[in-house]
Amino acid sequence: MSRLPFHITTRINYRTVQFQQPIADPFVRQVVHVGWKDLLRGLLHRELCITVIVGADPSLMDRVIRATEVAVREYKLAERRRI
């Protein structure tokens, strides 16, 4: 079995509830179920912070960032040509 290239970490109120669960695709829909203790804590502190972090191998992240930069640059050039 091959290693999945991406992983996801979930935190509720800065407490890690899921650490680097392997996933195949970085474009995911993450459902976070918040327990009553965390809801109560959030009400008392007037803050409920849910953080979902999608990460990957550093070399893969660099390739994705470079590809995104190229796509944004091409989009901006196309927009300028339309004006």
**29 vs 19, 23, 33, 66, CA distance in Å?**
16, 11, 13, 24
Q: Where are the alpha helices (DSSP H) in the chain?
A: 36-45, 58-82
What is the DSSP secondary structure assignment for residue 14, as one 8-state letter?
Answer: T
- Measured in whole angstroms, how far is the alpha carbon of residue 27 from the centre of its chain? 8
pLDDT per residue as tens, the chain (83 positions): 457 888 999 999 888 999 999 988 878 888 888 889 888 988 898 888 999 998 888 888 888 889 999 999 999 999 888 87
Q: Does pTM surpass 0.75?
A: no
Say what the pLDDT of residue 69 is: 93
Say what the pLDDT of residue 13 is: 87
Say what the pLDDT of residue 1 is: 44
